[in-house]
Structure 1
Amino acid sequence: MLESSNPPPSAALLRRVLSEVGLPIAEPMAVAAPARAVPLPSRLATGDLAWASVSAVIAASGYRTLPDPDRISLAYRSDAVLTVDGMRPDVWSPLSGFWRSSDGWIRTHANYPHHTRRLRDGLRLPDRAGPDDMRAVIGERRSDELVDAISRARGLAVVVGTENPALDRTLQARPLLDVDGPAPLDVHLSPAAPDPLPLAGIRVLDLTRVIAGPVCTRTLALLGADVLRVDPPTLPEPEWQHLDTGHGKRSTVIDARSSGFRDLLDSADVVVLGYRPASLARLGLSAEALRERHPRLLIAELSAWGSEHPDRAGFDSLVQAESGIAMIESPDGATPGALPAQALDHSAGYLLAAGITALLRRRAAENRGWRIRTSLRRIAAELLGMPRQSIPAPTSELDTSPHTRSFAVAGHRITTVAPVIPGLEFSAPRPWGSDQPTW
């Protein structure tokens, strides 16, 4: 039993998350603190956030087993474990990173080719311009001026800021998983792991990319859902990125304005949205439009900056930089740093998967749909409000061998991190865009 009136941060967060989705936890096993800290060394409580996020999925699914802290740490750093034919892919563009301006720092993101092109356009750099060219141009200009120019060219950059406690308190007062639907029933977790898998027979339409959404839908597939990832024909996904998070899903390419896509949507139980809300609205895929046409559909939304900023794109690294996390994690008090993993992305993915799973269990009794949403910025506010330490705790190098799995995919040997839910195993990722747009 948890006898303390002040549970550890991970347990307190887990209790609140499950309460938000209508599954109050009575079993202390499900809110226990880890036997040892999750080895994600940082000043902020990254390990506690990761433990609570993963444990939320396990608890919401009805399982009784506790996750392994080392496995969680490696799962959150999965891009550093991934190999393709024994080689680690280069996951960052040379134009993504921190850059010193005349009055501070900016953070850029250019991992997709169109982001690289827009970044160069915003800085008026030639097509072949590299890091040295960027460094020279950025160093001569103010941070706000640079970000404004890049943003007007639809590139991605933010001013590296300090934390804003007033904004964080406002965000912390809101649910971490914002559920819009019927009031919670008195539903309790199953006493043992469900058999068959808890999401068997559930159809999930996956309109996401870049870690948070794909981690969510990969987890739903692990729990038995039929997940079909849908991408637009004009925006190919980096192969490594899909292989890192594509386990157990099928993957297709289709225009969201087509009748074929509408047929998929008509038969879906869940749709997970990870694109900018404003872009989805222009396609007729806003949550409001979907709810009107499909009242029993469970609509899950992930965004970088929250519903207040529907037209603003972003990524974990940018949210860390603007929210103040980068300066808190500074190695020297002057140079921006980063969390030991893209923890906002991974936590958002696992937490949203937990919420979806819990709401699907409620839907059987309540016979209607929900809208559930969270954002990387809301996750950042939660992390910034958790206890922190002045110096990261030291950790030793982890042995990855017990925590990896290998697959044959399209003639390649892929090694990835194993699932964080004990007792379950991933199915192999399928090549991106290789499946027909059918259930």
Structure 2
Amino acid sequence: MEQRSWAPLWAALGGDPALPERVRHIRRGGAAGLLPARLPVAELARSAVAVCALAAAEWAACRTGGAVPAVTVDDGAVATAFTSERHLRIDGRPASVFAPLSRFWRTGDGRLRTHANYPHHRARLLAALGVPGSAAGADGDGDGPVEAVAAELAHRRAEEVEELVCGAGGLAVAVRTPGQWAAHPQGAAVAGLPLVGHGRLDGAPPPPAPPGGDGGPRVLDLTRVIAGPVATRTLALLGADVLRIDAPHLPESADAHADTGFGKRSAPLDLGSPFGRRTFEELLAAADVVVTGYRPGALDRFGLAAGELAARRPGLVVAELSAWGGAGTGPWGGRRGFDSLVQAASGIAVAEAGPDGVPGVLPAQALDHGTGYLLAAAVLRSLTDRRRYGGTHRVRLSLARTAHWLLHELPERTPGSESGPGPADAPGGHDPAPWLAGTGSPLGRLRHALPPVEYEGGPRTWARPPGLPGADEPVWR
């Protein structure tokens, strides 16, 4: 496997420079149709999985004291995993992905992208635009007043709406070209970040050997939607005890949980209550990793900023995921965001536009999935370094920085490669069947993508299917 895309990333993570030679790249299922795009999406996907799988193999060797096993990166498995939500079936039913108000819109001066999958984001969008939530929708399914929103946006400026909706706590971005994003203060700030922020906060001693053998790290998962849950789903595959914590009042997509909840347990916990805070502190006292993916700063009032966590639990690995770079990074660093919005703002939607100029999308939510595997890789490398040398570790990633990697740093696609314009399900393209499996679960019979992280002697699927959201107790196994 050519290493020019990911070997420098492995080095930036502090990995042994000899280990990339342990990675073997294979193509099965046909080269054509694998994540087809104008941008090098397939290269992003295989690079993210390669560093994650190598970090997993290194961590396995660290736990057992053996040699680092050989790693396989299979393009078919990678492409299937990066579109896992599209392949998911729950008792034969496909998963719901985007709500009617999550889409591109024409404005008076260009295009706008909105995200309104959650009821509270939908309500904020409509309130900011002055559109009644009960307005009749062109979609006819009662889920969104599409015609009313379209009429309202037709005479407005995209950047004006962007600020208006954001100020109301909603989600909207103007569609920009790559050049416009590079000139934007947020684009410039993100470009100055490392792809994966990774370092030690202190010199805490290495953790003691677990009594009775290594049962795997304990991971507190405070993430939502795709990128963070993909990372923690990967850690669960590799033997971590992952406990997802959700606020009881926040809605979550049952379909998203079915896709990314494999291997984990899920518990509701109100951190604003005395019981919730006390329970969380008990969990933190025995945790190895905390992963956060909420809007930057949203959890600080609960004492969950990296420095405060490190002070209370020396030796912890703190992993922080954001959309736009994190608090203190440019004017948008603390804003909410999702993959689709970052694609639109960063210039990806314009780069993938069709001949008619209509903004395009990547063949997968590749910023989410790619950032998720990079996040898991950084956590695994931190766990390995912590066991060897000690320290409290901090990991930081953002969807916007992954977008910059795709647009400006990955090798350009070469003619005849497996990427190229066209629909992901084009005839004669990628057949995902070899990388899909059926599993019974409390949610129903699931057809799902198998994990792409593969090394010799490693697990090929998760030890448990996803359970019902919030059905578990907030305790460690």
Could you tell me how far apart the structure 2 residues matched to 1:310 and 1:281 are? Answer: 15
1:19 pairs with 2:16: no
Could you tell me how far apart the structure 2 residues matched to 1:334 and 1:359 are? Answer: 44
Superposed displacement of residue 148, structure 1: 2.0
Could you tell me how far apart the structure 1 residues matched to 2:70 and 2:89 are? Answer: 32
TM alignment of 1:218-297, pairs within 5 A: 218-257=233-272, 258-297=277-316
Q: What is the letter of the counterpart of residue 75 of structure 1?
A: A
Superposed displacement of residue 381, structure 1: 0.5
Match of 1:278, SS state, is coil
Aligned match of 1:78: 84
Q: Quick one: which of 47, 66, 89 aligns to 2:95?
A: 89
Could you tell me how far apart the structure 1 residues matched to 2:190 and 2:128 are? Answer: 31
Match of 1:12, SS state, is coil
Could you tell me how far apart the structure 2 residues matched to 1:292 and 1:16 are? Answer: 32
Could you tell me how far apart the structure 2 residues matched to 1:29 and 1:240 are? Answer: 38
Deviations 1:263-283 (A, max 9, x none): 111110000010112112122
CA contact (8 A) 1:276 1:310 kept: no
Aligned match of 2:411: 387
Could you tell me how far apart the structure 2 residues matched to 1:398 and 1:72 are? Answer: 11
Match of 2:270, SS state, is coil
Could you tell me how far apart the structure 2 residues matched to 1:26 and 1:243 are? Answer: 38
TM alignment of 1:137-286, pairs within 5 A: 137-164=152-179, 165=182, 171-172=190-191, 174-181=193-200, 200-257=215-272, 258-286=277-305
Aligned match of 1:337: 360
Aligned match of 2:208: none
Superposed displacement of residue 38, structure 1: 7.9
Higher relative contact order (CA 8 A, sep 6+): 2
Q: Quick one: which of 450, 457, 460 aligns to 1:418?
A: 450
Q: What is the letter of the counterpart of residue 162 of structure 2?
A: V
Deviations 1:230-253 (A, max 9, x none): 000111211100010000000000
1:356 pairs with 2:379: yes
Match of 1:66, SS state, is strand
Q: What is the letter of the counterpart of residue 102 of structure 1?
A: G
Q: What is the letter of the counterpart of residue 76 of structure 1?
A: F
Could you tell me how far apart the structure 2 residues matched to 1:66 and 1:411 are? Answer: 31
Could you tell me how far apart the structure 2 residues matched to 1:223 and 1:28 are? Answer: 20
Could you tell me how far apart the structure 2 residues matched to 1:388 and 1:300 are? Answer: 30
Superposed displacement of residue 90, structure 1: 2.3
Aligned match of 2:114: 108
CA contact (8 A) 2:107 2:157 kept: yes
Could you tell me how far apart the structure 2 residues matched to 1:26 and 1:337 are? Answer: 39
1:119 pairs with 2:114: no
Could you tell me how far apart the structure 1 residues matched to 2:33 and 2:271 are? Answer: 40
Could you tell me how far apart the structure 2 residues matched to 1:199 and 1:121 are? Answer: 52
Could you tell me how far apart the structure 2 residues matched to 1:237 and 1:53 are? Answer: 27
Superposed displacement of residue 13, structure 1: 3.0
Q: Quick one: which of 432, 435, 444 aligns to 1:400?
A: 432
CA contact (8 A) 1:276 1:312 kept: yes
Could you tell me how far apart the structure 1 residues matched to 2:199 and 2:466 are? Answer: 33
Q: What is the letter of the counterpart of residue 45 of structure 1?
A: P
- 5+ residue gaps in structure 1? 3-7, 185-197
Aligned match of 2:369: 346
Superposed displacement of residue 15, structure 1: 1.2
Match of 2:299, SS state, is helix
Match of 2:445, SS state, is strand
Could you tell me how far apart the structure 1 residues matched to 2:214 and 2:439 are? Answer: 23
Match of 2:105, SS state, is strand
Superposed displacement of residue 333, structure 1: 5.5
What TM-score comes out, normalization by structure 1 length?
0.90
Could you tell me how far apart the structure 1 residues matched to 2:188 and 2:122 are? Answer: 35
Could you tell me how far apart the structure 2 residues matched to 1:299 and 1:148 are? Answer: 31
Could you tell me how far apart the structure 2 residues matched to 1:134 and 1:21 are? Answer: 45
Deviations 1:30-50 (A, max 9, x none): 455554588111111100000
Superposed displacement of residue 219, structure 1: 0.2
CA contact (8 A) 1:255 1:261 kept: no
Aligned match of 1:438: 475
- 5+ residue gaps in structure 2? 58-68, 136-144, 204-212
Aligned match of 2:206: none
Aligned match of 2:71: 65
Could you tell me how far apart the structure 2 residues matched to 1:227 and 1:347 are? Answer: 20
Of residues 85-94 and 44-53 in structure 1, the stretch that sits farther from structure 2 once superposed is 85-94
Aligned match of 1:189: none
Superposed displacement of residue 152, structure 1: 2.0
Aligned match of 1:39: 34
1:321 pairs with 2:349: no
Could you tell me how far apart the structure 2 residues matched to 1:411 and 1:263 are? Answer: 29
Q: What is the letter of the counterpart of residue 114 of structure 2?
A: T
Superposed displacement of residue 67, structure 1: 2.2
Deviations 1:272-305 (A, max 9, x none): 0101121121222111211122221100010000
Task: Report percent identity of matched pairs.
Answer: 42
Q: What is the letter of the counterpart of residue 411 of structure 2?
A: P
Could you tell me how far apart the structure 2 residues matched to 1:278 and 1:171 are? Answer: 18
Aligned match of 2:43: 48
Q: What is the letter of the counterpart of residue 227 of structure 1?
A: V
Match of 2:396, SS state, is strand
CA contact (8 A) 2:319 2:379 kept: yes
Could you tell me how far apart the structure 1 residues matched to 2:55 and 2:202 are? Answer: 17
Deviations 1:99-147 (A, max 9, x none): 0001000000000110111111011111123111111111121112222
Match of 2:16, SS state, is coil
